[in-house]
């Protein structure tokens, strides 16, 4: 997940992951915490001892290979990683024509591979990014190295184990397994492993859309951004990210003649900007739920109890209960961000000398706009909230519209069925991320995108982009099996 505009619970997800949808803490949850913490301790030990299936062994090998190829923007190469995966697919029998490593420059290659089906329906695109955010061994704990794959205490450690090389490795392992099984699905399966999702100037998805749309054109795409939630050691929800808020930034600027600070006047650039920011602080965009967030609140109510559960339900219903929405928004920044567009000042500058009246005061305001909202409307609303002609507003980063993906029955049902089969009692939770993934470019290009991976991680221990990044061994293998079954079901209708 990229730095600019990122944020999912994931972290969200996963990514510069910021909490996307944490829940309110109520004391009965504390009790749950303690119970589940105990359970998780008992859980770890047996995993390591179990005999690995050949599918697990292959998935482990591929993850190790990818982790140990440095794909950072500064010194790494996604081409090396893409070629390593291409070699595995060709060794598994994929024809050269269906396996390509292409990109705008030698270090930023993308893998595109295709399992051919009968072509009864349009292909499905299976996406993951190969690049990882920077990491330094010195910052990590002794004995763990970002670019050395280590298994310890039931976890795989390494940069990219959660963001996003686990999903990349799983797509390749499953494509090899489908080939070995002689699977001929109703539709082609396309795997794209891309560059520069996290940053850099060669975003692979954007480059492929612009230069080789035919190679990745699909009915819809499965991508990162979702993920399984473990809370207090218990699997509680399998998230499907079906929408992302739009990252949009403006600046507010006040200019003034200035003068000597010994002769202050009422009209002061800093005061004027401060007054405008205070009006912005008191302003809230209206609540507007979409299909994804409405379903999210309905599903969240099943995980909560008491007043919180009642409020979540009341917000998820039509029409939304404004009082319940008020209570939730006041209690949780994450719930508030799910319900409305938000704009907040993040940077401030003003004045040029200690003994001079300021000639300039400037604030940067970062917005996360609900999908489908008109950015020009957002700017007009912001200007109304600022309510001062003397404050100049300028767009600094124009958001790229990213329509929410419809909660297609075929996709959601398949996710539900495989989730229930593997993790009985775990709910499927549609989520809207507050940050961006490459789903942004695909949605913008008319390819609905679903962040789903069945990789469960502890929501209170998100390590994507951080130090000692890791994924549970058992969780990784279960994610592999979940995606194997899900994609097979979606590609064969069975």
Applying CB under 5 A, the residues found at the interface with Zn ion are 1, 163-164, 224
The DSSP result for 333-359, as a single string, is HHHHHHHS-EEEEEEEEE-S-TTEE-S
What Å distances lie between residue 145 and 70, 361, 440, 466, CA to CA?
Answer: 12, 44, 32, 12
> Please, which residue, 76 or 316, has the CB nearer to Zn ion?
76
> Please, which residue, 164 or 229, has the CB nearer to Zn ion?
164
What's the chain's Rg over C-alpha atoms?
Answer: 24
SS3 133: coil
d(CA 267, CA 258): 9
State in angstroms the smallest separation of the CB of 2 from Zn ion.
8
> Please, which residue, 1 or 300, has the CB nearer to Zn ion?
1
Tokens of 159: 């940069």
> Please, which residue, 154 or 466, has the CB nearer to Zn ion?
466
State in angstroms the smallest separation of the CB of 313 from Zn ion.
32
State in angstroms the smallest separation of the CB of 13 from Zn ion.
8
> Please, which residue, 250 or 436, has the CB nearer to Zn ion?
436
Which is it for strands 155-157 and 99-102: parallel, antiparallel or unpaired? Answer: unpaired
d(CA 218, CA 126): 10
State in angstroms the smallest separation of the CB of 165 from Zn ion.
9
State in angstroms the smallest separation of the CB of 469 from Zn ion.
11
State in angstroms the smallest separation of the CB of 197 from Zn ion.
6
State in angstroms the smallest separation of the CB of 128 from Zn ion.
8
> Please, which residue, 196 or 224, has the CB nearer to Zn ion?
224
State in angstroms the smallest separation of the CB of 462 from Zn ion.
12
3-class secondary structure per residue, 233-271: CEEEEEEEEEEECEEEEEEEEEECCCEECCCCCCCCHHH
How many helices, marked H, and strands, marked E, lie in the chain? 15, 19
State in angstroms the smallest separation of the CB of 438 from Zn ion.
8
> Please, which residue, 205 or 364, has the CB nearer to Zn ion?
205
> Please, which residue, 208 or 300, has the CB nearer to Zn ion?
208
Longest dimension (CA), the chain: 84
State in angstroms the smallest separation of the CB of 349 from Zn ion.
31
> Please, which residue, 168 or 364, has the CB nearer to Zn ion?
168
Enumerate the H helices of 264-403 as residue ranges.
269-281, 291-301, 306-316, 322-331, 333-339, 375-386
> What are residue 306's phi and psi, to 5 degrees?
60, -145
> Please, which residue, 341 or 449, has the CB nearer to Zn ion?
449
- Could you count the other beta carbons within 10 Å of the beta carbon of residue 137? 11
> Please, which residue, 163 or 373, has the CB nearer to Zn ion?
163
3-class secondary structure per residue, 155-192: EEECCCCCCCHHHHHHHHHHHHHHHHHCCCCCCCEEEE
d(CA 357, CA 1): 42
Q: Among candidates 488, 457, 385, which has minimal Cα distance to 12?
A: 457
> Please, which residue, 12 or 290, has the CB nearer to Zn ion?
12
State in angstroms the smallest separation of the CB of 368 from Zn ion.
18
> What are residue 101's phi and psi, to 5 degrees?
-115, 110
State in angstroms the smallest separation of the CB of 393 from Zn ion.
32
Q: Among candidates 168, 167, 148, 170, which has minimal Cα distance to 157?
A: 148
**Cα end-to-end distance, the chain, whole Å:** 32
Q: How many CA atoms lie within 13 A of 80 on its CB side?
A: 14
CA 181 and chain centroid, separation: 32
């Amino acid at each position: 997940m990229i730095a600019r505009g990122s944020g999912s619970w994931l972290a969200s997800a996963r990514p510069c992951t910021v909490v996307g949808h944490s829940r309110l803490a109520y004391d009965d949850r504390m009790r749950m915490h303690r119970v589940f913490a105990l359970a998780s301790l008992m859980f770890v030990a047996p995993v390591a001892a179990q005999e690995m299936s050949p599918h697990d062994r292959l998935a482990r090998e591929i993850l190790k290979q990818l982790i140990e190829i440095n794909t950072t923007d500064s010194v790494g190469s996604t081409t090396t990683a893409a070629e390593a995966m291409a070699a595995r697919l060709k060794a598994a029998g994929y024809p050269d024509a269906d396996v390509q490593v292409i990109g705008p420059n030698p270090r930023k290659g993308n893998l595109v591979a295709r399992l051919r089906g009968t072509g009864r329906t349009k292909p499905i695109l299976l996406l993951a990014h190969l690049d990882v955010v920077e990491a330094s061994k010195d910052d990590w704990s002794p004995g763990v190295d970002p670019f050395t794959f280590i298994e310890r205490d039931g976890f795989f450690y390494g940069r990219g184990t959660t963001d996003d090389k686990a999903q990349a490795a799983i797509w390749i392992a499953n494509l090899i397994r489908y080939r070995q099984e002689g699977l001929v699905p109703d539709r082609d399966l396309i795997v794209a492993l891309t560059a520069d999702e996290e940053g850099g100037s060669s975003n692979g998805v954007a480059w492929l859309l612009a230069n080789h749309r035919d190679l990745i054109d699909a009915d819809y795409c499965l991508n990162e951004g979702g993920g399984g939630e473990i809370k207090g050691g218990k699997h509680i929800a399998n998230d499907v990210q079906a929408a992302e808020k739009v990252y949009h930034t403006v600046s507010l600027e006040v200019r003034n003649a200035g003068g000597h600070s010994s002769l202050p006047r009422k009209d002061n650039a800093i005061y004027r900007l401060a007054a405008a920011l205070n009006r912005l602080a008191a302003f809230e965009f209206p609540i507007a739920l979409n299909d994804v967030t409405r379903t999210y609140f309905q599903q969240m109510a099943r995980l909560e109890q008491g007043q919180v559960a009642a409020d979540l339900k009341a917000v998820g219903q039509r029409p939304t209960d404004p009082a319940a929405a008020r209570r939730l928004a006041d209690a949780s920044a994450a719930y508030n961000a799910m319900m409305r567009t938000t704009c907040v000042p993040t940077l401030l500058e003003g004045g040029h000398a200690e003994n001079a009246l300021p000639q300039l005061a400037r604030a940067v305001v970062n917005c996360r706009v609900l999908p489908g909202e008109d950015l020009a409307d957002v700017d007009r609303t912001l200007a109304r909230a600022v309510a001062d002609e003397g404050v100049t507003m300028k767009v600094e980063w124009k958001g790229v519209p990213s329509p929410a993906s419809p909660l297609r029955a075929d996709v959601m049902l398949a996710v539900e069925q495989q989730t229930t089969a593997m993790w009985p009692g775990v709910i499927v939770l549609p989520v809207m991320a507050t940050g961006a993934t490459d789903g942004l470019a695909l949605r913008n290009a008319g390819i609905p995108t679903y962040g789903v991976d069945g990789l469960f991680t502890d929501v209170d221990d998100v390590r994507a982009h951080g130090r000692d990044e890791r994924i549970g061994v058992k969780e990784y293998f279960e994610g592999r099996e979940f995606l194997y079954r899900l994609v097979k079901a979606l590609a064969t209708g069975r």
